[in-house]
Amino acid sequence: MNSFSFHNPTAILFGEGTLSKLGEQVGKFGKNVLLVYGGGSIKKSGLYDRVLEQLSSIGANVVELSGIEPNPRLTSVNKGIELCRNHQVDFILAVGGGSVIDASKAIAAGAKYDGDVWDFLDRKAAVQDALPIGTVLTLSATGSEMNGSSVITNWETNQKRGFGSPLVYPKFSILDPTLTYTVPRDQTVNGIVDIMSHVFEQYFSLTQDTPLQERLCESILQTMIENAEAVLENPENYAARANMMWCGTLALNGGLISVGMANDWASHGIEHEISAIYDIPHGAGLSIVFPSWMKYVYDARPDRFAQFAVRVWGIDPTGKSDEELALAGIEATRAFFTRIGAPATLSHYNIGRDQFDRMAEEAVRFGPIGSFKRLNKDDVKAIYELSL
């Protein structure tokens, strides 16, 4: 186990009806609130009205930024920063999924920064201050509701990048599983893949002597596998939605499940270059890329992949080598993604190899990626080839 620091100050209010505590929570931070949300599904569902009611109960002055996109855009972030400045915003309330929360984090940091917010994404500056934010989560996937990370896309340059800061952890997040009942099937599927992929990025590690962390990772994967089909069969299954929601939050939780382990994150980088150009859902991209990455890297540590096969997928190890088990575990992962309806190949989106060179170049722009196996540009291209 490596040395580590861990600090996750986000307060969680979990369960049906916890929205009734929203006003009280926001009230701790001020009156001028920027309300950030997406394409309007919260209006259809009635959530928008319930949120405004809570905000009006504390006499808040509400400014709105709507229309945050999946793969949220730098242009939206800049709009939000301007609103914060023009309206002396005290607090940012994100109502939505990971895209809305990620955009809100970038707005929170950008509003307190004199330069261009893209500097944080481009690693030219570190966040020194940020407005406080809170979230009402409507989609289980990114874990952004309880971490300090954000991913933003610059569509002028087709660059999708991330930044992280302890200063943008939400002060609170309201997690009501019933607010995810209306999430469409394909977005639910993408959320399942995203959550499991977050665990993969942490679990496949070369760090030794981390038995608790490995088991915590396996716990989330097993729970997701057990609950995924129940959620898809009945989107209003409270227990299954609640289990998925808590799995999603713990899966990417400031490192909770993998403290002291080297993380990988190459697959996320490899996927980001796909969605930065083709604007496909992040979870769908991960479903395509991850099994390819697994096949390409498993020989760096077949024993970890063998453990994955046995503990997570329940594959009988009798008479099998680590390599055989590893391949069976990867096959089980691919089969599971296919069973829940996630795409397996780039051709599903009619994506060919014509941009592979550019995408691979951009993926390694800061140097080789990953830690389980260091990947250079040619490795990344090979993984794209495996994903065709």
Q: Is 227 in the site for a second copy (CB under 8 A)?
A: yes
Question: How many chain residues bind a second copy (CB under 8 A)?
Answer: 39
* The dihedral sign for the CA sequence 289, 158, 281, 216: positive
Q: Which residue's CB is nearer to a second copy, number 10 or number 149? A: 10
Residue 376 token pair: 């250079």
Q: Which of 365, 195, 363, 388 is nearest to 267 (CA)?
A: 363
Q: Is 206 in the site for a second copy (CB under 8 A)?
A: no
Q: Which residue's CB is nearer to a second copy, number 199 or number 328? A: 199
Residue 60, CA distances (Å) to 33, 186, 285 in order: 7, 36, 40
Return the residue of 57, 178, 222, 376 that touches a second copy, per CB under 8 A. 222
What span, in angstroms and rounded, lies between the C-alpha atoms of 104 and 76?
A: 10
Return the residue of 108, 152, 247, 261 that touches a second copy, per CB under 8 A. 247
Q: Stretches 137-145, 149-157, 214-222, 266-274: which one binds a second copy (CB under 8 A)?
A: 214-222
Are the CB atoms for 90 and 31 separated by under 8 Å? yes
Angle between helices 185-203 and 282-297 (to 10 degrees): 30
Q: Is 223 in the site for a second copy (CB under 8 A)?
A: yes
Provide, rounded to whole angstroms, the least separation between the CB of residue 154 and a second copy. 33
Return the residue of 45, 57, 154, 219 that touches a second copy, per CB under 8 A. 219
Return the residue of 86, 114, 156, 208 that touches a second copy, per CB under 8 A. 208
Provide, rounded to whole angstroms, the least separation between the CB of residue 223 and a second copy. 4
Longest CA–CA span in the chain (Å) reads 68
Q: Is 209 in the site for a second copy (CB under 8 A)?
A: yes
Residue 343 token pair: 């795409």
Q: Is 17 in the site for a second copy (CB under 8 A)?
A: yes
Return the residue of 199, 216, 270, 325 that touches a second copy, per CB under 8 A. 216
Q: Which residues from 93-152 bind a second copy, rule CB under 8 A?
A: none
Q: Which residue's CB is nearer to a second copy, number 114 or number 233? A: 233
Q: Which residue's CB is nearer to a second copy, number 230 or number 386? A: 230
Q: Which of 134, 128, 305 is nearest to 206 (CA)?
A: 305
Cα torsion at 295, 144, 173, 195 (round to 10°)? -10
Q: Is 234 in the site for a second copy (CB under 8 A)?
A: no
Q: Is 233 in the site for a second copy (CB under 8 A)?
A: no
Q: Which of 366, 363, 368 is nearest to 289 (CA)?
A: 363
Cα torsion at 18, 19, 21, 25 (round to 10°)? 120
Return the residue of 24, 49, 53, 226 that touches a second copy, per CB under 8 A. 226
**Which alpha helices (DSSP H) does 87-136 contain, by range?**
98-110, 118-121
Residues of this chain that interact with a second copy (CB under 8 A) are 1-18, 208-209, 211-212, 215-216, 218-220, 222-223, 226-227, 239, 242-243, 246-247, 250, 259-260
